[in-house]
Structure 1
């Protein structure tokens, strides 16, 4: 049984279609990237999953059932707009959130202290939220999301306000969660972070699904035929090879995009004897490259 099944959901605001017939499935043991530019419809989609917004059409099933108060305790949700009480002390606030999810005060306290230790903010337990740095507040919000050991974790822009060290710390925790069997939805416009974390991708642009599937399969299908070459010799040779679609030549290193259907070995045959090759490496397109390719194509066909 899927952890989450979203079927053909749509949502409009004053005639503007924010989400247009989006479908996807999330299984346990997976990190599912919900990707797209700001304003693409990611947050609206998540709010429909959480029943904060009701879809105009379509359906959402969590653990095979419609959303209910009981099911909400099986979900950890980190919203894009953070919601901490600035006058409360950190530990008191975390205990409060734990109790909202059905934990006893003792269990919530123990879990909160354990996570604060793991995230290196145990010394902030008795500080008020308003006294903390933005990064520490973000860690508190993250702990509040996972405190009750949810089966499905939904994170909307989770790295906002974090420095690179803490971004890596959160990434490691999410990977541990996946290993333990949890399902994670990770919404972001940061393609590089998604590429390192996610095994399944849903890409949304202007409210519509433009891509859905496994990361490796997507890169194989949509990735361009790219080759990186380190060489010695006359770089003008690249201008004379008809199977090259484009080339960025930096003097001793060239980034080459081959025409459709051309194998890298064909390029190698053209170069042997013309330049001295130190490195010849095929390269997958990044998620960012694929996203730009799809979005620019969408704009072209308006």
Structure 2
């Protein structure tokens, strides 16, 4: 899946501006940004529900052909279920709409219902299910036809940690079988865990496109965790410290760059015994806040 210089305008408003990225076969690619960043508009263009004002969206190994609709799976952020249908019939209906036969779907429906702990809900009406179980049914419905491309928009919404783990494992299984997955979430820990590459959107423009590891190296090891005989105000006053937060047993310092760390270490050792002094990269969530935070508006 390759987007090249894609722009989408609605009269005088540009929702997506000159967007380019590539999600390779068998890759989980993150598309992240605040609400209104252009993610949903981009998804709708990929799904051919909207036509780009300019630019191209192509699919296949040479990125020359468009992807046919029956080869796409889509899990929207909003519920898209038929509440009066039983679980099995709902999944079967959506599979048939994607061109699959009833006999071809039967075993796969059983497999996924068992995998997500929904075997006993097979005949239950959608409207009687919990929010988490409805989310699982919606995911099964989006993958039952074995899509080449799967778009997941906030897939972990409404799931407890156990069910979120089941979903994560299912996503990784789909990746291993060659499914290309475009993944969007406001939970940066999920993005960081699942995705190798991502595109960070702000107001329809790509702020960054590439690997998460390269993005972290761009900032350097500027997260300093320190534990010792210090006060919050004391650490805030050190040269090169951008901000300080106090956790239960230690302080977390955001440095302006790695180069100031040795001076802080020398200062700390003169204060007495240091129980912890460790530098690390920023988390994706911290980078996200820096890139799209209010001070960048």
Same fold (TM over 0.5): yes
Query: Mean alpha-carbon deviation: is it higher for 262-271 or for 49-58?
Result: 262-271
For residue 238 of structure 1, report the CA deviation from its aligned partner: 3.3
Q: Distance in 1 between matches of 2:155 and 2:71?
A: 19
Q: Indicate which of 270, 273, 282 corresponds to 1:273.
A: 270
Q: Does 1:30 align with 2:27?
A: yes
Cα displacement (A) at 1:32: 0.6
Q: Map residues 146-295 of structure 1 onto 2, 5 A cutoff.
A: 146-222=143-219, 225-232=222-229, 238=235, 241-249=238-246, 253-262=250-259, 264-295=261-292
Alignment partner for residue 7 of structure 2, among 6, 10, 35? 10
Displacement after TM superposition at 1:197 (Å): 1.4
TM superposition shift of 1:154: 0.8
1:45 is matched with which residue? Answer: 42
SS state at 2:6 partner: strand
Query: Could you tell me how far apart the structure 1 residues matched to 2:171 and 2:156 are?
Result: 12
Query: Does structure 1 retain, via aligned residues, the 8 Å contact 2:229–2:271?
Result: no
Label 1:177 to 1:238 Cα distance change in 2 as closer, same or farther (>3 A): same
Structure 1 residue ranges (4+ consecutive) displaced by more than 4 angstroms after TM superposition: 233-237, 249-252
TM-score (norm 2): 0.91
* 1:126 counterpart residue number: 123
Distance (whole Å) between structure 2 residues aligned to residue 32 and residue 244 of structure 1: 34
**What is the SS of the residue equivalent to 1:85?**
coil
Partner deviation per Cα, 1:225-268 (whole Å, 9 max, x = no partner): 12101113667763664343433356952222223351534432
Residues 94, 109 of structure 1: 8 Å contact kept: no
Q: Distance in 2 between matches of 1:18 and 1:180?
A: 34
> Cα distance 1:259–1:187, how it changes in 2: closer, same or farther (>3 A)?
closer
Structure 1 residues 274 and 5: alpha-carbon distance in aligned structure 2, compared to 1, 3 A threshold: same
Deviation at 1:15, TM superposition (A): 1.8
1:59 Cα shift? 0.6
Q: Distance in 1 between matches of 2:256 and 2:92?
A: 59
Counterparts of 1:118 and 1:149, CA distance in 2: 16
Counterparts in 2 of 1:36 and 1:151: CA distance versus 1, 3 Å: same
Residues 73, 151 of structure 2: 8 Å contact kept: yes
Are the aligned partners of 1:76 and 1:152 in contact in 2 as well (CA < 8 Å)? yes
Count of equivalent residues: 295
Helix, strand or coil at the partner of 1:209: strand
User: Mean Cα displacement is larger for which, 49-58 or 253-262?
Assistant: 253-262
Structure 2: distance between partners of 1:59 and 1:149 = 25
Give the whole-Å Cα distance in 2 for the aligned partners of 1:143 and 1:281. Answer: 43
**1:66 Cα shift?**
4.2
Change (3 A) 1:298 1:12: farther
Asked if the contact 1:119–1:139 (Cα under 8 Å) also holds between the matched residues in 2, the reply is: yes
TM-score where L is the length of structure 1: 0.89
